[in-house]
């Protein structure tokens, strides 16, 4: 199994490009199933999750063409999905269990083909992650849904517009119902909708395909259903979590890093926390610079919330920063019930962290020491790399397949900033 080896102790310095957002490209790829013509997506990151989505779409009969000349090449990298050959409606367990976002084919398949069978994703390291709100939304649009033999089985004639009030803010449920409503007859209203920037990006792509959507990015979304959606070309939003991870790396190592092609407007909460930690934060168009001028960061308190609050997907990285910061910081995780799996591994590197329920108190120590550690999920993996960048000696991170789900070329990007990091095995 591959591992990542990091030798700590170098301040990062330089510029690094940000890739397209994992959490935008996955729903957008699923949305192509709604169209009756090919859809081309650009700025597609070369991620394992994108490859998994390709398998899900191809398994349904869609043509998925990845342009080999541009693949992995950042903003030019393109995928074209031709949904005209879709003749299946099953997303199998083998794929869904490796990537929960596969559940996002439910709405498009149901709206376009009147039937969908999607394996229940099951729990994962960070929590149980139920899909009741997705199901409730489909039912509100007139679908019959049963859960049996581990599958969500949904059927409908043409969906009809409806009003859905989500019980809690869910990014995935908002996306699934939004996509389904685009082809429903009449108007739908989504109340208590998630406001994440990736939802706005999905809505922009759907609009380019011919959908009529108002209010994406707010808590209430109106959709006027149309009879058909056509082809489009769409470029994926920059990944705010990847960008944030590099900026935390700058802050932790006392360095100076500029992220390029970023989307600072979606990063207010994270940039404010970096400033609170003592970093100089400079935003110039789509470039963000964090300059720490060799200083040690100050510990910050973090409370994860739905957007525009502080994102849960940056919690582990800020915990890593607090581990070597001056003072103590309190981290409260309110989105997922079990998202502190990185704590034990950070402790192996010498971190002082006490967990009480959903709260972790992190007291900064002057330095960490390298050790073998194990990645338990995607952002936990990122936090261990960050800790490895400042730890004395070598940190060897196992189970890095989690990392490859969501970070494109992370070793190459960090090496470009002066980190000593390599993949082995
Ligand atoms: C591919 C993708 O975009 N993943 C992101 C998405 O995940 P995802 O869309 O799965 O996360 P949700 O916003 O749905 O989950 C938020 C909370 O709602 C709960 N819930 C959700 C749906 C449901 O039907 N019932 C229910 O109880 C979840 O268990 C969780 O506690 O948003 C999360 C929260 O910002 C991010 O951490 C993930 O990176
Ligand atoms: C939890 C995450 O992703 P997913 O929803 O794909 O598991 C994440 O991106 O941190």
Neighbours of 156 (CB within 10 A): 21
- Atom of ligand 2 minimally distant from the CA of 126: 1
> What is the longest distance spanned by two Cα atoms in the chain?
63
Closest CA to 61 of 89, 95, 32: 89
- Atom of ligand 1 minimally distant from the CA of 171: 13
- Could you please state the CATH topology (level 3) that the domain comprising 22-235 is classified under: UDP-n-acetylglucosamine1-carboxyvinyl-transferase; Chain (3.65.10)
Distance from residue 240's CA to the centre of ligand 1 (Å) = 17
What pLDDT is recorded for position 74? 78
Token duo for residue 80: 């074209």
- Phi, psi (5° rounding) for residue 26? -65, -50
Q: Hey, where are the domains in the chain?
A: 3-18+238-424, 22-235
Question: Is 132 part of any known ligand binding site?
Answer: yes
The answer to whether residues 40 and 80 touch, using CB atoms and an 8 Å cutoff, is yes
pTM here is 0.98
Token duo for residue 203: 């809505």
Give yes or no for residue 26 CB within 6 A of ligand 1.
Answer: yes
- Spatial strand order of the sheet with 287-291 comes to 13-17, 256-260, 287-291, 280-284
Token duo for residue 48: 């394992």
Q: How far is CA 59 from the centre of its chain?
A: 23
Give yes or no for residue 106 CB within 6 A of ligand 1.
Answer: no
With the CA atoms of 6, 7, 11 and 14 taken in that order, what torsion angle do they form, in degrees rounded to the nearest 10? Answer: -50
**DSSP SS3 for 284:** strand
The answer to whether residues 45 and 79 touch, using CB atoms and an 8 Å cutoff, is no
Of the candidates 30, 124, 182, 205, the residue annotated as catalytic is 124
User: Is 124 annotated in the active site?
Assistant: yes
Ligand number nearest to the C-alpha of 173: 1
Give yes or no for residue 336 CB within 6 A of ligand 1.
Answer: yes
- Atom of ligand 1 minimally distant from the CA of 128: 29
What pLDDT is recorded for position 122? 73
**DSSP SS3 for 130:** coil
Closest CA to 116 of 96, 80, 79, 91: 91
Tell me whether domains 3-18+238-424 and 22-235 share a fold: yes
What pLDDT is recorded for position 216? 98
- Residue 246: which H helix or E strand, with range? helix 240-253
80 - beta bridge partners? 40, 65
**DSSP SS3 for 252:** helix
Give yes or no for residue 101 CB within 6 A of ligand 2.
Answer: yes
Rounded Cα distance, 422 and 415, in Å: 8
The answer to whether residues 313 and 322 touch, using CB atoms and an 8 Å cutoff, is no
Distance from residue 227's CA to the centre of ligand 1 (Å) = 30
- Atom of ligand 1 minimally distant from the CA of 198: 3
Q: Measuring CA to CA, how many Å separate 317 from each of 63, 164, 298, 322, 373?
A: 37, 34, 14, 9, 15
The answer to whether residues 14 and 259 touch, using CB atoms and an 8 Å cutoff, is no
Distance from residue 293's CA to the centre of ligand 1 (Å) = 37
What pLDDT is recorded for position 327? 98
Give yes or no for residue 104 CB within 6 A of ligand 1.
Answer: no
Distance from residue 10's CA to the centre of ligand 1 (Å) = 35
What pLDDT is recorded for position 82? 98
Rounded Cα distance, 118 and 142, in Å: 18
Rounded Cα distance, 6 and 230, in Å: 47
Question: Is 17 part of any known ligand binding site?
Answer: no
What CATH class has 3-18+238-424? alpha beta
Distance from residue 171's CA to the centre of ligand 1 (Å) = 5
What pLDDT is recorded for position 235? 97
Closest CA to 29 of 73, 72, 1, 66: 66
Rounded Cα distance, 156 and 166, in Å: 21
Closest CA to 414 of 403, 401, 402: 403
Q: Which residues of 181-192 are buried (b: 16+ CB within 10 A; e: fewer)?
A: bbbbeeebbbeb
Task: Give, in degrees to the nearest 5, the angle at Cα 385 between 380 and 386.
Answer: 95
Note down pLDDT in tens along the chain; length 425 residues. Answer: 899 999 999 999 999 999 999 999 999 999 999 999 999 999 999 999 999 999 999 999 999 999 888 887 778 899 999 999 999 999 999 999 999 999 999 999 999 999 999 999 876 789 989 999 999 999 999 999 999 999 999 999 999 999 999 999 999 999 999 999 999 999 999 999 999 999 999 999 999 999 999 999 999 999 999 999 999 999 999 999 999 999 999 999 999 999 999 999 999 999 999 999 999 999 999 999 999 999 999 999 999 999 999 999 999 999 999 999 999 999 999 999 999 999 999 999 999 999 999 999 999 999 999 999 999 999 999 999 999 999 999 999 999 999 999 999 999 999 999 999 999 99
Cis upstream peptide for 308 (omega within 30°): yes
């Amino acid at each position: 199994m591959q591992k990542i080896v990091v030798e700590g102790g170098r301040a990062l310095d330089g510029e690094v490009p940000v890739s397209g957002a994992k959490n935008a490209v996955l729903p957008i790829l699923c949305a192509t199933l709604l169209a009756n013509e090919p859809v081309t997506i650009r700025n597609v990151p070369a991620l394992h999750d994108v490859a998994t989505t390709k398998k899900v779409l191809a398994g349904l009969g869609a043509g998925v063409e990845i342009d080999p000349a541009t693949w992995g090449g950042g903003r030019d990298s393109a995928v074209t999905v031709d949904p005209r050959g879709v003749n299946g409606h099953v997303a199998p367990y083998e794929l869904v269990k490796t990537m929960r976002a596969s559940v996002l084919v439910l709405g498009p398949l149901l709206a376009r083909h009147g039937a969908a069978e999607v394996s229940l994703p099951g729990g994962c390291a960070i929590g149980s992650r139920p899909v009741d709100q997705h199901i409730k939304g489909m039912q509100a649009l007139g679908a019959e849904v049963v859960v049996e033999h581990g599958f969500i089985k949904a059927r409908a004639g043409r969906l009809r517009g409806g009003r859905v009030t989500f019980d809690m803010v869910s990014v995935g449920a908002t996306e699934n119902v939004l996509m389904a409503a685009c082809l429903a007859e009449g108007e739908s209203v989504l109340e208590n909708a998630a406001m994440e920037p990736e939802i706005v990006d999905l809505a922009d792509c759907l609009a380019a395909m011919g959908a009529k959507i108002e209010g994406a990015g707010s808590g209430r979304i109106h959709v006027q259903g149309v009879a058909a959606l056509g082809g489009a070309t769409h470029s994926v939003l920059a990944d705010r979590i990847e960008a944030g991870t590099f900026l935390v790396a700058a802050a932790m190592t006392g360095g100076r890093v500029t992220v390029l092609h970023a989307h600072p407007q979606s990063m207010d909460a994270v940039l404010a926390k970096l400033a609170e930690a003592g970093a100089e934060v400079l935003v110039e168009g789509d470039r963000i610079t964090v300059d720490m001028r060799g200083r040690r960061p100050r510990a910050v308190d973090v409370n994860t919330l739905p957007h525009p609050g502080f994102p849960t997907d940056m919690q582990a990285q800020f915990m890593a920063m607090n581990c070597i910061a001056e003072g103590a910081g309190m981290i409260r995780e309110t989105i997922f019930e079990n998202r502190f799996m990185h704590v034990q591994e950070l402790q192996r590197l010498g971190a002082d962290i006490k967990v009480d329920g959903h709260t972790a108190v992190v007291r900064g120590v002057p330095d960490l020491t390298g050790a073998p550690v194990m990645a338990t999920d995607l952002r936990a993996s990122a936090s261990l790399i960050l800790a490895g960048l400042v730890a004395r000696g070598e940190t060897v991170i196992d189970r890095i397949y989690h990392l490859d789900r969501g970070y494109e070329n992370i070793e190459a990007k960090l090496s470009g900033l002066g980190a000593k990091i390599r993949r082995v095995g």
